[in-house]
Structure 1
């Protein structure tokens, strides 16, 4: 198992092949190139590249690829522009494009989901399995179990059967909501009659059983995989044992994995690193990082995220910040959104406005478009510091963000010009 080729190298190879006429490019090749440019060099460069694609190959696949990358980057403004451009170019509105918008709004603006569903209805676009999966997850995230069940019923009535992945989303939300019996019933459905013949289910069952606190079940499922495990089953088992705080079992799975696959990638190391972070085991985490460096493995965003979390969990916020800062200066890869938020939230708790603003700025530098979540955290820093935030409403407006109820309530707390009983008397 080797570390995957770096996207930059793949991009350079594809550029060389095109420049030297080694390949006869078709639309899918141009779309693959566009995808790489978006991932390595950003959305603006990808958009510029479209102009260079011969007009005859500038079809729906090209724009769909750009749309998907806008969604990955959580750039709602750009995603909506691309979606509208596709309509202007008279490409048919597809389930794929609508699903991309649903995915985006699930994260950024749940109120807009209804608009997409209305558009699908008008255009006579049948929801796909992926559509239902997004809707189920959205209801689950909002803790609306009744709504989640209704979507499941509609889906089945439309003849769309949930796959194991959709069922695992259901089980996860039932478990989080404390509906243990419902979660267990879904787990039975995922497992089927015979786990040995339905081996693909193990990957989902391991962490879900851990969520329900069922160590015996995790052990039983792992026994099916143990003699000849697949790499994704090892990852799931490490996560499961980590959730149950059974560190030795997680380490044993990792050792088995590293013996079977000589060259592990940063993603595989990060699974155990995350376990150490969640259990505040700094020394073990550092030892694993050293082992990782010695193996010559390329460290990327997943590893940075685990290291940042590791330092935050043991209370070394400044050290986490320093790791994040070094990672941000990495040329090709940027740290995950979550890594910035973990550090920012620590500064917010302290009411440290200066450092909260600094992280907010660094996220922007890294190419993350401002979202409500970031502003909520930033405003909370001012609240915790008992300081007024001049111009905050204007900043939010400039980012095309419409405050939700929670943010609006926060903003009234930090309004430097709000009236008080005393100021009324003095007027």
Structure 2
């Protein structure tokens, strides 16, 4: 009976570590009700991680609070710290690290790796070296530490720092993995040191395998960045010999690489293969083909391809419509720009504003003095929760170009909680001399 319980325990945990789903959470909760299953702190940590992913951070915190004190060890604290990092809660993550230090739980690199990942994702790169110093006070770096450190060097574009980190890694006898050489290869290639880059890719490929499958996608991308078509094709052939099926990510890497070489015919062939083999209908895959068409001014081809993918069941995403916004903007077709922007914004619950896109659209509107388009765009951005002083200034510059006067701008800015600057006031004085633009009465 005990042996059977132990096997069930191990099987359940293995399954739960692989799949963060409500079903797995139910398995964990069932395990807690079985008296013959003796749960260890590591089991509670897996359960906490699942609660955070399935039910959210507040539920994970409550789960941690309700755990027996004996279960609140390094593994469960690390799980909660990881949840804070995943949810971008820097304040709580730093407080948890401090508590772990007081409790004597900082005995491995894991909590420091979590913190470095948090600082990397938030763009606080200066915090990474500080955290490495702190880590060395308590323990020694592991492979993940070094790979995060190399990622930091990549962000800083520092070959010298990366080589120093790699030398330290060898001195401390930490065995590198494919990711280590992928990062080194990328750093060298971006610095134009192609010989060193190729050497890193050779080492990387030695570590690629069925188990380390993600390495192949990275190899495709890096050989494409070296403009090495021969090795790109060779690696793909090797993948065909090794794997029966390919993931969307792998198809996307190859399609992106082929379009980088300008080989659209081969890319279209690969796309047809994906279309037949994959049932995901992930819009990111056809977006690679659309991006090539649009970048190369092939708008009719892009429109036809869009019709095709929609018929095949692909739902265009925000990114799909944004590609068309840029394409129509290049063609000066403002009606289509606004139509596609509206469709793009409708794909999202909340828009993460793209100031570059807003500026590009308004620049063309200003140039033409198209007050109707300016007002329509203002309404769209308002509905998306993005209205700024600069946007209002763009609208006013458009009226100035058209030599027309907008109405109730100050009232509209008050309603939008946007303040005027010197340019706004200057533009209002200028446009007050012109006849009234009737569009503003319709759009306000």
CA distances 1:185-211 after superposition (whole Å, capped 9, x unpaired): 222333359999x99854332111111
- Output the CA distance in 2 between the equivalents of 1:308 and 1:36: 35
Instruction: Give me the CA root mean square deviation.
Output: 4.2
Q: Residues 26 and 113 (structure 1 numbering): CA distance in 2 closer, same or farther, change over 3 Å? A: same
Specify which of 214, 226, 232 is matched with residue 218 of structure 1.
232
CA distances 1:299-333 after superposition (whole Å, capped 9, x unpaired): 8xxx846435534543547645654554427xxxx
Specify which of 181, 185, 204 is matched with residue 167 of structure 1.
181
Q: Could you tell me whether the CA contact under 8 Å between 2:255 and 2:288 is conserved in 1?
A: no
Q: Residues 121 and 224 (structure 1 numbering): CA distance in 2 closer, same or farther, change over 3 Å? A: closer
After TM superposition, give the deviation of residue 214 of structure 1 in Å. Answer: 1.9
After TM superposition, give the deviation of residue 227 of structure 1 in Å. Answer: 4.9
Specify which of 16, 23, 46 is matched with residue 10 of structure 1.
23
Q: Could you tell me whether the CA contact under 8 Å between 2:318 and 2:348 is conserved in 1?
A: no
After TM superposition, give the deviation of residue 131 of structure 1 in Å. Answer: 1.0
Which residue number in structure 1 is paired with residue 357 of structure 2? 346
Specify which of 121, 134, 138 is matched with residue 136 of structure 2.
121
- Output the CA distance in 2 between the equivalents of 1:240 and 1:161: 30
Q: Residues 201 and 13 (structure 1 numbering): CA distance in 2 closer, same or farther, change over 3 Å? A: closer
Q: Could you tell me whether the CA contact under 8 Å between 1:311 and 1:319 is conserved in 2?
A: yes
- Output the CA distance in 1 between the equivalents of 2:339 and 2:34: 51
Q: Residues 355 and 218 (structure 1 numbering): CA distance in 2 closer, same or farther, change over 3 Å? A: same
> For 1:241, what is the secondary structure of its paired residue?
helix
Deviates more, 1:147-156 or 1:227-236: 227-236
Q: Could you tell me whether the CA contact under 8 Å between 1:180 and 1:212 is conserved in 2?
A: yes
Which residue number in structure 2 is paired with residue 98 of structure 1? 112
TM-score, normalization by structure 2: 0.64
Specify which of 231, 250, 257 is matched with residue 267 of structure 2.
250
Which residue number in structure 1 is paired with residue 246 of structure 2? 231
After TM superposition, give the deviation of residue 134 of structure 1 in Å. Answer: 1.1
CA distances 1:165-194 after superposition (whole Å, capped 9, x unpaired): 111112122222332222222223333599
Q: How many residues align?
A: 348
Specify which of 61, 68, 73 is matched with residue 54 of structure 1.
68
> For 2:312, what is the secondary structure of its paired residue?
helix
Q: Could you tell me whether the CA contact under 8 Å between 1:277 and 1:306 is conserved in 2?
A: no
Structure 1 gaps of 5+ residues are 294-298, 330-338, 363-377, 388-413, 417-427
- Output the CA distance in 2 between the equivalents of 1:122 and 1:53: 30
Deviates more, 1:282-291 or 1:165-174: 282-291
After TM superposition, give the deviation of residue 356 of structure 1 in Å. Answer: 7.1
- Output the CA distance in 2 between the equivalents of 1:96 and 1:171: 25
After TM superposition, give the deviation of residue 15 of structure 1 in Å. Answer: 7.5
TM-score, normalization by structure 1: 0.66
Q: Residues 172 and 155 (structure 1 numbering): CA distance in 2 closer, same or farther, change over 3 Å? A: same
- Output the CA distance in 1 between the equivalents of 2:89 and 2:321: 25
Structure 2 gaps of 5+ residues are 1-17, 295-301, 330-336, 364-376, 398-419, 423-444
> Bigger radius of gyration, 1 or 2?
2
Q: Could you tell me whether the CA contact under 8 Å between 1:168 and 1:204 is conserved in 2?
A: yes
CA distances 1:279-317 after superposition (whole Å, capped 9, x unpaired): 434543453355345xxxxx8xxx846435534543547
The equivalences for 1:301-316 within 5 A come to 304=317, 306-307=319-320, 309-314=322-327, 315=329, 316=337
